[in-house]
Chains A and B, each alone.
Chain A
Amino acid sequence: MTKALKTTRRTLLKGAGAGGLLAASPLLGRFASAQSAAPIKIGFQQHSTGIGAAYGRWYGRTTEAALKMINDAGGINGRPVEIIAEDDGTDPKRGAEVVEKFSNQHGCDVAYGTLFSHVVIGSAPAAGEQKIPYFVVSEGHHVASGALNRYTLQPGITDVKSQVQAMAPYVSENLGKKVTMIFPDFAFGHDHRDFFTAAIEAQGGEVLEHIAVPPSETSFTKYFPKIPRETEVLYHVMVGPAVLTFVKELGEFFGPSSPAIFGFIDSLEAVDLASPGLEFLEGTYFWEGNPRYAQADQTEYDKAYRAAVGVDENGASVSDPSDVSTYAHMFGCWETLHIIKAGMEAADYQGPDDRQKLIEAVEAMTDMPESMEHPQGPKLFNGKTHQVFGVQYISRVENGRLVKVHTTSIDDTLYPDEVDYTTQSF
């Protein structure tokens, strides 16, 4: 009491603070009991700008569609789901900041949605520090290679190593054994370089030349003279805003006398196959994560998934036929969100305290049959390496459309484990 008589501004503030705490504590209790009705927040690390912008746009649309489906079906554990999107500028440094923001500022339950491998590699340590589960949709081999941490998982899209390993037999049997590779000069491209070279050598083929192109490059003709004359197959994979220029200049360079061409559809994601200058692609082959054009044997799941995201049978937006999707990759967002839902339900996820339970629940997953949740095809999840495996597609350009000519099995894509994340502590 005597102290209270000597009131200074400072003590008044202290008192007010204490009073505020007291007043807040019943509120805290009330919030805890009401938490089950609060939305589950999923932080979406989106490449809205920068070199990944075309992917970011379609990852966004797919995410919205999956979110709608999940919320229409009652959300997760009876709670609505909310997506909090933050632009990372397709930049590793900003990516890490975005992950921290999800955890500290937005109070997200999990982070999700990153595609570009350098951003994943830049952001994963932040996810580990913040102890926030980080579900990436990236294709990079860095998750399964053991380079990241227990908080980083890739359950919705297969990795480059398994993709190229499954392509090599087809390439060497049908197209040729002497290959020249052109790839972007960063982690994702290096995965292609390392694993395809090994895979084609295992098939008795060889890579004559590796041509690395910076992903921000805008002019490509200068790289092409390095393609050796005896090349039988040109293997190309490119990303970034200039992919159309890349493919066009490739056609201009070769003219009528080109080797067989096998590309990853990344080189033409979000690009209309009917663009002027791409006629030379007729008869060439592409890896597709998911066939862009609706195929003759289209499943009901693909049909419903297309309709939900707003993609027509040519792989473009239903509202704008010139707005071509990143169809070979964006299914990963749809599937990953459904895995987050399944994992949270299996773990009876209530809040950030249950994050470890969520990771353990996802690690326990194995078979994922083809379904509305997995419209791209059946999958097999490896809880030890945090990486999913699935079928791959090879398409041929026929009359300006990509027509599926080969589907690999999941077995074609498997390789020995390189890490066991489940032995790492949280």
Chain B
Amino acid sequence: MEFGPHLMLAILEGAVGASVLALTALGLSLVFGVMRVVNVAHGEFFMLGAVVAWFVANSIAGHPAIGFLAALAIAPLIAGAVAMLVDRLILKNVAYDPEATIVGTIGVLYILQQSALMIYGPEARPVEPPFSHRIALPWVEWGENGLAFFYPWGLSITSYKLFVIVAAIAILLAFWLVMSRTRLGLIMRATQMDRETALAFGIPVQRVYSIVFGFGAALAALAAVLIVPIQQAHYLMGHDPLLLSFIVVIIGGLGSVRGTIVAALLIGMSDGIISVFLSPTLSKIIATLLVALVLVFRPQGLFGKKMA
């Protein structure tokens, strides 16, 4: 493939990956920012979203779009509800102790993963996209008659992949509005800034924690519903998103929304571009190396605040 179209394909693929990654990592970052809980089970909430999407889409007859829309509404709700239950049953009982919550969420990881294996089974199952058209993309070239459009071989995207990018941007905007313009966002930010003072001002911190943990899981599930028509639901699919989310959150700065989104774009796009041009393994190596560099030279992350 020629360099120009090749690069464009890489950027498009990277953009799809980055959008889904941004949503997933945002959930992880939010939970850490507000609750100081490192949620190792985050990837499993992603998986839960995909698996629930499959169940929902398959139990609703008619046009695939109906099942998909239903999944888009139901899967984050269920993942959020499960997460709130986890918060009440486990995290609260270990008093949100940082070490204990890590061990606790590792346990949750296995419980969710093995439950999915028992109930959903070991197969990878597809969810039909609501719409999917192959869009061949043109490229310009300086030919005999001046600038001319042509359609290079293999340069294409599907309408659904474009939708994923647009949907992710819309969700990110909505998230930003909730955080900055609503009372709920205000309460969350207050809890993040200073738990004790928030408590003193009558903010029900315990309930905020539950909501935040559920909200974080719902974001992961939402990302999974968007990706599942492209990648299929599988009980082991939570591993990669978890790893990448951690990478993103560490680079962006734990708890920083802006940093998370910038880092997700950086990692997602570079993953797309490096893996198209060089090798996918190399892109993982570089991402991990970046984490190491950030940890050495800027431990608080690109946009994180230095902890006292």
Contact = CB atoms under 8 A, between A and B. Distances in A.
A276 interface: yes
B174 interface: no
A245 B231 contact: yes
Interface string B138-166: 00000000000000011010100000000
Contacts of B281: 214
Contacts of A276: 128, 132
B232 interface: yes
A214 B124 contact: no
B124 A241 contact: yes
Contacts of A270: 123
Interface in A59-112: none
B137 to A, nearest CB: 11
A245 B132 CA distance: 14
A275 B64 CA distance: 13
Nearest to B121: A53
Given A217-B280, A253-B154, A222 B232 contact: no
Interface in A203-223: 214, 217-219, 221-223
A225 B231 contact: no
B230 A245 contact: yes
Given A53-B123, A225-B6, A254 B132 contact: no
B126 A244 contact: yes
B156 A255 contact: yes
Interface string A221-236: 1111111010000000
B21 to A, nearest CB: 12
B156 A253 contact: yes
Interface in A259-278: 270, 275-277
A222 B275 contact: yes
A50 interface: yes
B153 A50 contact: no
Nearest to B12: A221
B275 A244 contact: no
Contacts of B126: 244-245, 275
A225 B128 contact: no
A422 interface: no
A54 interface: yes
Nearest to A49: B122
A245 B136 contact: no
A57 B13 CA distance: 33
B49 to A, nearest CB: 15
A92 B123 CA distance: 20
Interface string B100-137: 00000000000000000100011110101000101010
A219 B132 CA distance: 16
Nearest to B117: A49
B240 interface: yes
B223 interface: no
Interface in B220-250: 230-232, 234, 236-237, 240
Interface string B240-275: 100000000000000000000000000000001001
A174 interface: no
B136 A218 contact: no
A154 interface: no
Given A217-B280, A252-B134, A245 B6 contact: no
Interface in B37-73: none
B9 interface: yes
A221 B232 contact: no
B17 interface: yes
Contacts of B124: 241-242, 244
A222 B158 CA distance: 14
Contacts of B128: 276
Contacts of B132: 276-277
Interface string A43-56: 00000111001101
A254 B128 CA distance: 20
Contacts of B231: 218-219, 242, 245
Given A219-B230, A254-B154, A225 B240 contact: no
B123 A241 contact: yes
Given A49-B117, A221-B13, A257-B153, A245 B1 contact: no
Interface string A328-346: 0000000000000000000
B28 interface: no
Contacts of B230: 219, 245
Contacts of B237: 218
Nearest to A218: B231
B272 A241 contact: no
A226 B2 CA distance: 10
Given A241-B232, A253-B156, A276-B128, A222 B10 contact: yes
A242 B232 contact: yes
Interface in A9-67: 48-50, 53-54, 56-57
Interface in B166-194: none
A24 to B, nearest CB: 40
A50, A224, A270, most chain B CB atoms within 10 A: A224
A24 B234 CA distance: 51
B276 interface: yes
A179 to B, nearest CB: 17
Contacts of A275: 126
8 closest Cβ pairs, A-B complex: A53-B122, A241-B124, A225-B1, A222-B276, A241-B234, A222-B275, A49-B122, A218-B231
Given A54-B123, A244-B124, A245-B126, 13 more contacts: A53-B122, A214-B281, A218-B231, A222-B275, A225-B6, A227-B1, A227-B154, A241-B232, A241-B236, A252-B134, A254-B154, A255-B134, A276-B128
6 contacts: A53-B122, A229-B153, A242-B232, A244-B232, A252-B156, A255-B154
